[in-house]
Structure 1
Amino acid sequence: MIEEIEPHEAFPYKPPTIEILEKYPHIFNLKEPLPPRFFKVFFDKTLAFILLIISAPILLLLKLTFIIEGWAIPENKGPMFFYYNGVSAGRIIPKYKIRLIKTKYIEPEGAKRHDWLAYSAEWTPDSRTFVGQFVKKFYLDELPQFWSVLKGDMSIVGPRPLSVMHYDRDRAQGNVTRFLLRGGLLGLGHINKGTSEMGNPAYEYEYVDQYLKRSSFGLLCLDLWIIWKGILVIFKGGGH
């Protein structure tokens, strides 16, 4: 039985184990990001377009609640959207999010550089606005990333794109999955959010291995299963 826990840090990813190195040596021999797969890209862009349209009323409602909360509690006012620099397939991209925290917790110089550290207080629940608490609980802060999927910066399924500093740490630990694949909203490892398995790199290497072995349609079937598991995580409402 997997133990449910709240991570003590934002991205508790671990280095590859000896078992991973022995099981997937072919993955560590890859020198370039993997090419896109037709059905995966087509599905990603189609779903992202549909979900952006569906989520538009939700985003408008959230914007209204942001305005109302900012009017009622001045220290909570501020922009709804922001981004920090993340890495996807070894390339720096803007990772769009909905602001969860009061602006006084945002470090202004770091925010200008779009550093993750400027916004890291979102992992401290006391720093969150009332709307931010609700948004985080149901992962609504991830909605803007459908735009990144539509642009081709991300995928629906893949290893979560890390901030530059966390990506550098991940590579220094010997991991290569986030260099090889576009970052995703969901991944084999990410659907274990809130459990002791969060951060276990074995899941990410298993996905890369399946990416290499499966046909384009077979990979889409795997993505659909991961999406279903991700939906179950979202409806649990843990907000991890």
Structure 2
Amino acid sequence: MGLIQIRLKSALDRVVAFFGLGILFPVIVIIGFFVKVGSPGPVFFKQKRVGKSEIFFEIYKFRSMYLAESHTGDVSEGMSAEEARSKYQTTVKNDPRITPIGKFIRKYYLDELPQLINVLKGEMSLVGPRPYTPSEIVDYKPSHWKQRHLVKPGITGLSQLFLKGRNGKQYSRICLDLAYVKNQSFLLDMYIFFYTFIKLIKGSSF
């Protein structure tokens, strides 16, 4: 993408996020209510992620798990990236940490709706590679990590469409991330964006 296309995409992202938050506000309130009454804890889950140019930002999601002592993948917690990665717990199918309402909202990716706030703030795009935690740098070659962060992370992307569930094989996810960066275009973004709706209707996550 050229500079003008990148700026146009960023402007379009923010417009869609603004109207999306307005239209979906009743849904967001309802989900927030059920998250709050479903289990003790905050409505929103916040976590440090790596954005474009390797700049950290705080991602927003609806909380879908019970509160527990768990490592978040943040290398600032006094350990190396390798040690942080080994302690970082990704979710698995039928994960006992996921609440009943969490299972439903994760199945239809409704837990991702608050990320429209990140898009509105310019930290994320509607379409792009999945935003990773700082510790996941150990999964990449240094050059691939830098290449991956030449673009903004997205709410949806190639890995969400073509890998089963949310935690497909790491090697496949890396390949899809780099393929998106190399081939990014409005046509590809439109394909990913609209195909995502088909996945949402089918409830293909967990």
Q: Please confirm whether the aligned pair reaches a TM-score higher than 0.5, indicating the same fold.
A: yes
Amino acid at match of 2:193: I
Amino acid at match of 2:181: V
Structure 1 unaligned blocks of 5 or more: 1-33, 70-75, 212-218
Q: CA RMSD in A?
A: 3.1
Q: How does 1:130-209 map to 2 (within 5 A)?
A: 130-172=100-142, 174-194=144-164, 199-209=172-182
Structure 1 residue 56 displacement after superposition: 1.2
Amino acid at match of 2:183: Q
Matches of 1:157 and 1:109, distance apart in 2: 24
Report if aligned partners of 2:73, 2:133 keep a CA contact under 8 Å in 1.
Answer: no
Report if aligned partners of 1:88, 1:161 keep a CA contact under 8 Å in 2.
Answer: yes
TM (norm. structure 2) is 0.78
Amino acid at match of 1:136: R
TM (norm. structure 1) is 0.68
Q: Does 1:86 align with 2:49?
A: yes
Summarize the Cα distance change of 1:129–1:226 in structure 2 as closer, same or farther, 3 Å threshold. same
1:29-62 Cα distance to aligned partner (Å, 9 max, x none)? xxxxx96712211211111111111221111111
Matches of 1:58 and 1:149, distance apart in 2: 18
SS across alignment from 2:158: coil
Structure 2 unaligned blocks of 5 or more: 78-83
Summarize the Cα distance change of 1:197–1:39 in structure 2 as closer, same or farther, 3 Å threshold. farther
Q: How does 1:4-153 map to 2 (within 5 A)?
A: 37-69=6-38, 76-89=39-52, 90-103=54-67, 105-107=68-70, 120=89, 122-123=91-92, 125-153=95-123
Amino acid at match of 1:224: M
Which runs of 4 or more aligned residues in structure 1 lie more than 6 Å from their structure 2 counterparts after TM superposition? 108-111, 113-119, 195-198
Amino acid at match of 2:56: I
Matches of 2:203 and 2:86, distance apart in 1: 25
Report if aligned partners of 1:186, 1:227 keep a CA contact under 8 Å in 2.
Answer: yes
